[in-house]
Structure formats: structure tokens, C-alpha cells
Amino acid sequence: MPVNLPTELLRSLQGVNGFDEEAFVKVHQSGEQVTSIRVNPFKVSNAKSETSDINSFRVSRFTSHEKIPWTEYGYYLPSRPSFTFDPLFHAGCYYVQEASSMFLEQALKQTVDLKQPLKVLDLCAAPGGKSTHILSLISKESLLVSNEVIRSRANILVDNIVKWGRSNILVTNNDPRDFKRLQNYFDVIVVDAPCSGSGLFRRDPEAIDEWSEQNVALCCQRQQRILADVVPALKNGGVLIYSTCSYSRQEDEDIAGWLISDLKVKSQKLKVKSDWGVNETGESYRFWPDKVKGEGFFIACFRKKDGNDEETYLPKVKQEKFSNLEMEILIKNVNTDGISFLRNREILHAVPEKLIADIILLSSRLRIVDYGTKIGEIIKEKLIPDHALALSAIVSDRTPRIELDYEQAIQYLKKKELNLQAGKKGWNLVAYDGQPLGWINILSNRINNYYPKELRILKDFNT
Ligand code: SAM
């Protein structure tokens, strides 16, 4: 499809490092689409390798594809399959993500010691690409606060976080200015800023109509406001990672320069291999689609050095005591090693023991949407398990599990009736290729499908 790039955009990019107008226009006209995914390291290693179902798109197949060079977990796919009809997509085995933006991994690996327990904030997090990636990189003693200011988008973020299956997570719905209440708290803050979006024109040509110079100027003001609000929440010595999917200098290098001059952070150089095709401008990094196999992206890293080492005071934890019976039920359903439980309006959540004080502190200062792993509710001495427990790494190994074939898995994900011969009465996990998809409850006369209604597949294959 011919793409008419805005002339004002092309004019504004003259002289920007790495901009080659002819190649840039050509790659937009080519109609070429790059599809890439990032696998979930906590799930993929469990997936079986052989396959007989042609409709299913097994993770084992991904890992034989071309690797994205700047990440351990990313792969290019030769074509775009129907992810909706792959049960492993719903099981959280991988995330469909644009390749350039996975460079975040280099930014993190080269600026922080990821083996240390870190407090990380992903400020503009929905739909969760960067957050699920960060969860794959940080240690289990680290905490990720994944924030999204727009409430409806925070729900999509939770869905994707739940699929990833980690418990060291807090999802919040706050304006950047609310983080001023957490001075010097985070070791790392990622600001993947809302921007004018020109970097995604090849993938989404309709976005071209929404682009204007005025919008670039507005985005630039908003980016400054967001950064000024959130930098106080970064520790002295902490790392700020700023990125956009805009080509405009005002939203990229100009913001980087303003961060250094006005917010007094120091830029951090990253090592980039020459064959990656990444364009280095000073200490910031540009991805041009005519030079990398990916879309337009900009990223820069900074360290805060303001000499203020005052740490955030953590509250003394007064945890609710659970009865012996409740603990028995929890131990039966959850791998409790290093895990503590919190109850919120009857719903039980599992969180890493070492993060309890932080989670309690953050709950008093931020608007929490979700935290840890939702376990469910104990009613009449039985656990009514939550979907999040099914997809988590802490669901008990002793939980009864029924392996579905491809057709059954799709039936389940459509929330249709399941016809199964085997299975013990009560709550069972259903799995595909060894990966849990959710819960069913086997009763004497029927099977109840507990796949969340709002997540169910609505369309038919080939529609
Ligand atoms: N990091 C996400 C990912 O990798 O999936 C993509 C983030 S997207 C580029 C920018 C996000 O910023 C959007 O989810 C948008 O709702 C949010 N946003 C919009 N206005 C904002 C504001 N004023 N402050 C903070 N975030 C904002």
C-alpha cells in the first residue's frame, strides 16, 4: 500500500543523524511487515518440543527462528500467524512485541546489576510489552511497579501481566505526579513515553493522518512534565531509561538534552555492536527501519546524581494471621516457598515475603489495581481459585491437571462446554502442551469452564 509520509515530518528529519530520506521513504512504501515475539523464559523451558497440530504455533518452533540480536528472548517470525488461535499465546508463553523496543534489555543489562534486588518503575506501562520484558530480566527478590494512567488500559496491562505469571509485581493506576510521594525510592525508572508515534507508521499507516507538528510540540511538553514529575522518585545513583517511538528530534534528543541540563541527570553510554544497525547519536540510540529489522524507536539512559541518599522509610509490617485451616488450604494450592499472603476484601494475594513491606508502603501511597498473584477466595473451607493462580509460577505442582488437545484447548478458550472423559471431581487445571490455560470445575453431572469471560476467543478461525 502506498504510504504518504507527511512532508513536514520528512523536512524536520533533514540533518538528523542516520536519516536517509530515500531509504526511509522506500522502506515505508515497501509494505514489508516485521513480526516478532519475545518468549517467556519462565514458561518456555517447560514446553514440550514435538508437535503434530498444524494449527498450533508451538514455542519450540519460535526458538528455531532468526534471533533478534539485542535480546536473549526475541525472535523474528517469517510471517504473521493467527496468535488468537494459538493456546500458548493465551498461556503467556510469549508476547508479540516490536523488535526495536526489545533493546530495553541492553539498556537494563548495561546500566544496572540485575542480580541485585531492585525496585523498578515502568511508568507508562500499558499494554505491558516493557513490563513483561522487565519481569523476565529482574531477580525474584526485585519488585516491578507497572503503572498506567488510563484506567481502561490498566486492565489490559493486568491481563498481560497475569499471563506472564510472576508474583513480584504491583500494577498501579496513577498520574506521574503521584510518584512525588515516593522520593528516592526506585533503583530504575522506565519512561516509555506517550509520543507522536511516527516510528510506527510502517506498521500502522492510519496513524499518519493523526500526525502533526502541533502534536509533536504537545507531546514534547507532556514528556517534560512526566519526566519532571517522576525523576524525584529515583534514588541517587538510580537509572532513568527514556524511550519513544517517535522520529522527531524534539521528542528524542531534545528531551535527552533537557534532562541533562534541567533535571541534572548524567547520560549513560551503551555498547552497541556495529552489525546491529543501531544509530548512535551522542549517548542516545535510534532505530531506523531502513537500517534495522524493526520499527522506529529511540532510547537513552541516564543516572541520577544529586547527592541525596535519604532512603524511603519502610513501615513495620503487621501482617494478618491466617488460621491453621486457611494455611493448610493455601499450602495445598500454592508453592509457598518464599511467599507470603495478604488478604484484600476476602481475596487472597501471594507476594514474595521479602517485598511485603514495600507492597504495604506502596499501597498506602498509590492507587493499586493488582498486586502479587491473585490466589482466590476461601469459601466454606475451600479455595475458589483465581485465573491468575492457574497461569502463575506458584500454582502447586500437586494441583490436578488435565492435558487438552488442540481442539479442546480452543473450545476451552472460547469458554464453550468441554467433553472430557478423565479428571478428578473438583477444581482442575487444564493445560495445553504442558502449559496451564485456566481452571475447570468437574461436578458429578457436568464440567464448568472457568475461563474468564472477558478473555474468551470470540471469533472463528479464518474470520
Ligand atoms: N510501555 C508500553 C509497552 O511497552 O507496552 C507502551 C507505552 S505507550 C508508548 C505510552 C503509554 O503512556 C500509554 O499506555 C498511555 O496510555 C500512557 N500515557 C498517556 N498519557 C500519559 C501521561 N500524561 N502520563 C503518563 N502516561 C501517559
pLDDT in tens, 195-254: 999 999 999 998 999 999 999 999 999 999 999 999 999 999 999 999 999 999 999 999
- pLDDT at residue 45 in the model: 62
Query: Ligand 1 centre from 421 Cα, in Å?
Result: 46
Domain count along the chain: 3
Query: Ligand 1 centre from 191 Cα, in Å?
Result: 8
* pLDDT per position as a tens digit, 93-112: 999 999 999 999 999 999 99
Predicted confidence band of residue 462 (pLDDT cuts 50, 70, 90): low
Which residue owns the Cα nearest ligand 1 atom 16?
Answer: 150
- Asked if 437 contacts 91 with a C-beta cutoff of 8 angstroms, the reply is yes
* pLDDT per position as a tens digit, 424-458: 899 999 999 999 999 999 999 899 999 999 999 99
Which residue owns the Cα nearest ligand 1 atom 17?
Answer: 124
Q: Which cell numbers in the block locate residue 383?
A: 479455595
Please give the share of the chain, as a percent, with pLDDT higher than 90.
Answer: 84
Range(s) of the domain holding residue 51: 7-96
215 and 321, same domain (yes or no):
no
91 and 108, same domain (yes or no):
no
Predicted confidence band of residue 2 (pLDDT cuts 50, 70, 90): low
- Asked if 193 contacts 124 with a C-beta cutoff of 8 angstroms, the reply is yes
Which residue owns the Cα nearest ligand 1 atom 19?
Answer: 194
- pLDDT at residue 60 in the model: 60
Determine the atom of ligand 1 nearest the C-alpha atom of 225: 23
- Asked if 261 contacts 209 with a C-beta cutoff of 8 angstroms, the reply is no
145 and 204, same domain (yes or no):
yes
DSSP E strands in 256-338: the ranges are 265-268, 279-281, 284-287, 297-304
- pLDDT at residue 191 in the model: 98
- pLDDT at residue 51 in the model: 40
Query: Ligand 1 centre from 268 Cα, in Å?
Result: 23
Ligand 1 site-directed mutation target among 149, 151, 241, 245, most atoms within 8 Å of CB: 149
pTM attached to this predicted model: 0.95
Q: What are phi and psi of 274, to 5 degrees?
A: -65, -30
Residue 57, number of CB atoms within 10 A of its CB: 21
Query: Ligand 1 centre from 153 Cα, in Å?
Result: 9
pLDDT at 54 over 50: no
Query: Ligand 1 centre from 297 Cα, in Å?
Result: 15
Residue range 59-85: mean pLDDT, rounded: 88
Query: Ligand 1 centre from 170 Cα, in Å?
Result: 17
Query: Ligand 1 centre from 223 Cα, in Å?
Result: 10
* pLDDT per position as a tens digit, 308-360: 777 777 777 777 889 999 999 999 999 999 999 999 999 999 999 999 999 99
53 and 121, same domain (yes or no):
no
320 and 292, same domain (yes or no):
no
The reply to whether 451 falls in a domain is no
Which residue owns the Cα nearest ligand 1 atom 18?
Answer: 194
- Full DSSP string of 395-427: B-TTS-EEE--HHHHHHHHTT-----S---SEE
146 and 264, same domain (yes or no):
yes
- pLDDT at residue 1 in the model: 57
Q: Which of 304, 331, 351 is the last residue of a domain?
A: 304
Ligand 1 neighbours (beta carbon < 6 A): 124-130, 148-150, 153, 176, 192, 194, 222, 226
85 and 113, same domain (yes or no):
no
The reply to whether 457 falls in a domain is no
105 and 218, same domain (yes or no):
yes
pLDDT at 139 over 90: yes
22 and 77, same domain (yes or no):
yes
143 and 220, same domain (yes or no):
yes
